[in-house]
Each structure stands twice: as C-alpha cells, then as structure tokens.
Chain A
Amino acid sequence: MSEVFTEKQKKVGHMRRNRTIVNTVVYIVLVVLCVIWLYPIVWIILNAFRCEYNNQGKLIGIVVSNYIPARFGFDNFRKLFTETLFAQQFLNTVIVAIFSCILSTLLTLATAYVMSKIKFRMRKPFMNLAMILGLFPGFMSMIAIYFILKALGLTQTLFALILCYSAGAGLGFYVAKGFFDTVPNALVESAKLDGATQAQIFARVVLPLSKPIIIYTALLAFTGPWMDFIFARVILGQQNVELHTVAVGLYYMLYDAKADGNVFTVFAAGCVCVAVPIVTLFLCMQKYYIEGATAGAVKG
C-alpha cells in the first residue's frame, strides 16, 4: 500500500517539476513576443524625444548608431507645433472624429435595432443587399464618391469627409445587431402590451440596456478618422495641407515630393501625439471593445 503511495507522490512531484519547466519556457516565449511587439513602438517613442542635431545644425533623422538618444528633450514636439501644420491637422481630425462619431453611431444603432427587433416585410432583402454591397472593395466607389462630391461642389471640405465616413455607416450594423439579438424579445413584447409605442420601446427599454454596444460603436467610429489615410487623401486633395487629417499630414511629412529625411524625429513626435490619446481611449474602454469584437466574430 505504502509503495503505491510513494509511486503516486513521485508522479505528482514529477508532474510539478514538468509544469514548472513548461511554465518557464512559456514565460520566456511570451517575453520574447512582447519584446518583438513593443520594439517598433519603443523605437518610435525614443525617437520622438531624441534631441540630436547633425553638423549643419539640422535634426538628425534616423539614427542607427544608438537606440537610446544622446540627449532627451522636447525639441521635436516644439518643432512639430510651431513649424508644421500639425496643430491645425490635429484640430481637423478632432472635428471630423467627433461629428462622424455622432452620426455613425446614430445610423448604425438605428439600423441594427430595426434589423434585430422589428419584423417588417423588406427585412431579409435589406440584409442581403447590405451583405452584397459590403463585398465591393471600398476603393472602387471612392473615386466615384470623389466625382459625385465634385458635382455637388463639396470636395475638399471637412464636411465632405465627415459625410464619407458616416453616410455608409448603416451598412456596418452586424455587430450591433448581434448585441440587440441578445436582448430578450419578452422584454419588447411586454412593453408593447403595456401600450408603449415602438419608439418608446427603443428609447426607454432597449437603449438603456445597450451601453456596451453604444460605447463599442462610438469608439470605433471615433478612432476611424485617426487611422484612415486613403479616403482623407483622395477626398481632401494633396495640395490642401491645411485641411489634412493627422494621418495624411504625417504621411506627407515623410513621403512628400519635397519631404526631407531629417524630419523623422518630428514625425515620431507626431505619432506619439496621435497614438497616446487613442491608445489611452482603447485601454480605458478595453472591456467594451473586447465584448463587441468577440460578439461580432462569434455570431458573424
């Protein structure tokens, strides 16, 4: 009897040692992966605070000799806000982001709610149409949108850009619809029995329960204009630098025809200015983001 016991104890001890070894390996792999994933980010941040100048007194551009700057400072940020149009472009992006966030969220939620909770005759055809339209590459219609805006005399304004970002938002209703599907129908039915109109059911019964999906939709709509680069570039035109959003502005800082390779550290400072608010927002809203993203993936 006692022999069996020791055998078992031995086995348990063996397994424990095994697990420690595996866990150590997992830790090492995870740390290595974290380093790989953080490497470009840290590199950009270090460059943003790099205060080094070359012999001609110009900014030094990309440095390959030392990762850690010889001198830290805010020179790049000062240059960014005084010598480039970054402040103006930042303001543009804030305006576009706020308005398209409000518009897109309203459109998306309204469409998703109707598709989920109201059974009307054209519902299925609408859903199929939305799916088909979603399969056309967005860039194909982009150039046509440019022509249409030109015909309307709207091109090259921030208003046009806001319209571009939010007008089609209703088509992206899938994730929000998935959420509304999980709100029990019994709730809607009982409100109806109590004499509530459809509008009241939406505003007083379902919306108060939908905080996560409202935040998720708004978060994506708000961050979209900060990340998009193609639409803004085409709609606003290359020469209207004072209208550009940050993504376009920063791209041209590096890759314009008259761009100069020495401004890389200023570009890095601009990246930090854009990324810090967005990343903070994401991390604060992490819970809702994960909820929305996973719901969308699982339900399709």
Chain B
Amino acid sequence: MTNLLAITQTGADWLLAVLIIVVIAQLLGIVCLILAHYKKLGAVLKAVKNWFVSVGRAIKNFFVKLGKGIARWFRNFHERFMDGSVGTKLSHFFMGAGNLYHGQIFKGLIFLAIQILFVLFMALSPAINDTPLGFKALVNFGDLGYIQGDFDPDNPPVDPETGMPMVVGNSMLILLFGVVTLGVIVIYLFLWLSNIASAYKADTDSRFGAGATTFKQDLASMLDSKFHTTMLAPTILGVTVFTILPTVYMILVAFTTYGGWSASEGQTNFGWAGFQNFVEIFTNGSNEIGQRFLPVLLWTVIWAVFATFTNYFGGIFLAILINRKGIKGKTLFRTVFIMTIAIPQFISLLAMKNLLSGGGPINSMLMNLGITDAPINFLGNDPTNQNVTLARTMIILINMWVGVPYTMLMTSGILMNIPSDLYEAAKVDGARPFKIFCKITFPYIFFITTPYLISSFIGNVTSFNIIFMLTGGGPAVAGYKAGQTDLLVTWLYKLTVENSNYNQGAVIGIITFICTSILTLVTYRRSKAYKEEDTFQ
C-alpha cells in the first residue's frame, strides 16, 4: 500500500513537473515573440534604457509640477484675498460671509451652519460608547488611551492622583474616531476653500456679469454645469466611509500592538508599535509572520503565475477548438462552458471538495479500478498522508476548471475579429496551422488581451475562494496558522477574522498591496489602454 501511495505521490510530482515545463515553455514563447517583435537585441536594450530614463524623467516632472502647483496655489490664494471684496475677505474667517454680502442668503447660511457645526463638533467632542470624537479624539490619538499591562475590565485600575477608577481606553474606537476626526477636518478644509471660491465668484459675477447667482440658479446648475458633482457625491460618500476609512484604519493598525491573545478575548486596549511588525517580517522574527512570510509569499507568486498562464492558454486553446471552421454545435459547447461561469463558486468548489474527499466517489472509483488501494489525499484535508505537491497541483487544476471558460469567452470574440485575409495570405504562402497560430492568432490575441492578463494576474494574487473552500490553507504547518497552500490573502483572513491578530494581518495586507501595485505600475501605466485612455472616443 505504501508503495502505491509513493507511486501516486511521485505521479503528482511528475504532473507538477510537466505543468512547470509547459508554463516555462509558454513564458519563453512570449519572450521570443516580444524579441521577434523588437527584431534586434540592441533595440530591446535601448527600450529598457529608455524605460528607465522615462521613469526618471516622469518622477522629476512630477515633483517639478507639484512644486509649481503649490507655489501657484499660494499666489492665487494671496491675490484672491487682496482682490476680493470685504465679503470675500471676511469669508476667510467666517464661512458664508461673502455669500451673505452678495445677498445669497441660503448659500451663506448653509456655509455658516457648516462652520458652526464643525466648531461645536471639535470643541464639545461628542462621545459614542464613552469614546470622544473631535478635539479630544486628536489628543487621545497620541497614545490610543493605552494602559500598560493586562487588567480585569470589570475591575479597572485606579488613578493614583484622584483615587477614582480610571476610564479604560477602548483603543480600537479611539483609533477609529481619530481617523474619523482627521477625515472631518480634511472635508472641512475642502468646504472652507470652496466657500472662499464661491464668495470670490459672487464678487466677479456682480462686477462683470449679471450679478451674483440666486439660490434657484445654483440649484439648477447642480443638474448642468455642476452635474458631475451631483453624480459623484453618492459614490464619494460611499467610498469614503466603506473603502477609504477602513483602508486607512487598517494601515494604521499595522503600526499598533492590536492583536494576539488579549484581542481574541475581546480586549481592545493597545498602543503604537512603530515599525515593529514590519521589522519582524524582514528579520525573520520568532513569531508567525516572521517565520512564515517568505514561504507564503513564494507560493503566492508560484500560484499566481501558474493560475494565470494555465487559464490563459487553456482558454485560448478551448476557444480555438470551439471556433474551428466546420465544427457544428458551437452554441451548445459555448453554453455548457458559460453555464459553469454562472454557477456560484461556492457550489462548484464544495462539490469538487466532496468529489475528491477521502470517502468521495473519485477515490472509490480509483480503488475499484485497482489503481490505488488506499484513498488518495488529493487536497490534503486528511491529517494523515499529506502531500503538499499533490494538493498544490490539484488546486491549480481545479482553478482551470473555474477559470478556463472565462478566458474562452473573452478570446472567442477576439478570434472572430481577426481579419480573415491574414489567414488567406498565410495559407497561400503555404504556412502550416501551427505556424499560423504562432505568427498570427497568438500575437493578435496577446496584444489585445494584455490588460486582461495583468488584471487576472492581480486577481489571482488576491484570489480567496479557491484556496479557502478547497484546502482551507492545508496541509497545516505545525505551530503556525499559515498552511502549505495559504496565499497572502487567505493568511490575512486567518490572522484577522479567525485569530484576531489584527496588526499582523494588516502588515500582510499592506505587503499584498505593495506587490500588486508594483506590478501595476510597471505594466499597466505603460500600456496603451492607459496612456490613450481618452483618445478612443
């Protein structure tokens, strides 16, 4: 039995080896195509050099532009103050003064109300759940209300000066409200600037134009010249509260001590940790992220490369088969594969997991056929006989089941758009089908779908469902949360949601962001789709 198991295990290794060879061959093919595209190596080197030069120039231009922009902004600010009417000058201190000066009562009152509310908010520092917002939140932000050591929440420590029980800081809310207060200040500054701009506009309108606009006209402009503000307002609100605020919050959490045993007990008393959590990753620290970071990162990269390229070429292959001339039932075939896209992933993945489980139908079929006499631990879900390579290979294969139909769909349309005279010409010249594929079909698809290839690579770096549903990160590594098939994001999930190691999870999140953004910066910004974003109209 052990012999047979060993055979299946080496079988899996072989399978992975074949997969590796296929993917490497594909990558080499792409490199060759690009080289062929550039004709000479010298041209390639020149292109690389130019790329670095242009990046350097872009960075320089950015800072020069930024400096000039800031200088211009201050000059304008000064000129506007000197040039403006009494109202405009006053509205630098009292919001809405300029509007009131020009008889725009409603607008002026709204601005004034905003200023009063802001001042009240900052001064009174309203508290929610005993945690203040406003000015006090900024004060608390310094130490997050951290109290040294562990303590019993029902029996808080006593203040040595007053002899009263100390208010135990809820650092989680203090941090959150600090971020919220900072956000409110930024929004207030923005409104303050637009108040000055509005006052100055009323000045110029009444001096040169038809007089300051009425409230009715202002409302009408919301549907016309200011239509973009109206349309974007809900999105900006939603994104600020549900994307920017949480992201900023989690980035800050990466610099705190929030996590571990006390956090999982529901205690939210923590302080700043500086770069400690990051240092541990790179100094191979003794804790989870120090020890498991490199293996997980490596596997994430391997997974992303494999998942992307197997799906990409599998999809192109399938599309070519289905769209081949003389094949009947194209719609039927296509519908079968589209159907698998439509089925929610949790259904198909859990079905796969059960099909491949130790007592599942595939194992019993293999045993009945006499191929193996013990169940093969395909996904490493059973604690005995775990095989990392097999589990990883299976994940990549199942990912093909999920992803190939999607690429097929994508490339089908492109295949049909390739001008047929290209093929005719190639046939007249006596080109063989394989050569036609290499010289016409593939380059055509490749150059059109580059953006898709990049976005699907990023999608794979941050893909969650497949790993989580199939293996749950296993086979496990004793003593650590991150298993052998855990990606950065599934690890992030385990660290935060399952184990309350919020600070370590946040560090992993930031690193994932850095990985994806470097990739995007290098490739996406140079792609035609980005550069010529508004020319194709």
Contact = CB atoms under 8 A, between A and B. Distances in A.
Interface of A: 19, 23, 26-27, 29-30, 33-34, 36-41, 43-44, 62-65, 67, 106-107, 110-111, 113-114, 116, 118, 120, 126-127, 131-133, 135-145, 147-148, 151, 163-164, 166-171, 181-182, 184-185, 197-200, 202, 223, 226-227, 229-230, 234, 247, 250-251, 254, 264, 267, 271, 274-275, 278-279, 281-283, 286, 289-290, 293-294, 297-300
Contacts of B350: 250-251, 254, 267, 271
Interface string B475-516: 000000000000011001100110000100110010011001
Interface of B: 128-129, 172-173, 176-177, 220, 223-225, 227-228, 230-232, 234-236, 238-239, 241-247, 249-250, 253, 318, 321-322, 324, 326-327, 333, 335-348, 350-352, 354-355, 357, 359-361, 363-365, 401, 405-406, 409-410, 413-414, 448-449, 451-452, 454-455, 458, 462, 464-465, 468, 488-489, 492-493, 496-497, 502, 505-506, 509, 512-513, 516-517, 520, 524, 527, 529-530, 533-534, 536-537
Nearest to B407: A297
B304 to A, nearest CB: 13
A39 B352 CA distance: 10
Given A27-B327, A34-B336, A144-B250, A137 B512 contact: yes
Given A275-B343, A298-B449, 8 more contacts: A37-B401, A64-B364, A114-B228, A127-B533, A140-B246, A141-B250, A247-B346, A275-B347
Contact of B359 (A36, A62, A168): A62
Contact of B496 (A139, A164, A298): A139
A137 B492 CA distance: 9
A163 B253 CA distance: 23
Nearest to A295: B413
A297 B452 contact: yes
A187 to B, nearest CB: 11
B243 A133 contact: yes
8 A-B pairs closest in CB distance: A170-B235, A300-B451, A140-B509, A144-B246, A282-B342, A198-B227, A167-B238, A141-B246
Contacts of A62: 354, 357, 359-361
A6 to B, nearest CB: 21
A147 B227 contact: no
B493 A147 contact: no
Given A135-B458, A234-B497, A290 B409 contact: yes
B343 A64 contact: no
Interface class of chain B by DSSP: helix
B306 to A, nearest CB: 19
* Interface hub of A36, A141, A227 (most chain B Cβ within 10 A): A141
Given A34-B333, A202-B227, A137 B509 contact: yes
B346 A229 contact: yes
B342 A279 contact: yes
Contacts of B242: 141, 145, 163-164, 167-168
Contacts of B337: 37
A114 B231 contact: yes
Contacts of B345: 227
A133 B520 CA distance: 12
Contacts of A199: 223-224, 227, 230
Nearest to B472: A255
A65 B509 contact: no
Contacts of B129: 151
Given A41-B343, A143-B250, A118 B227 contact: yes
A44 B347 contact: yes
B452 A170 contact: no
Contacts of A264: 354
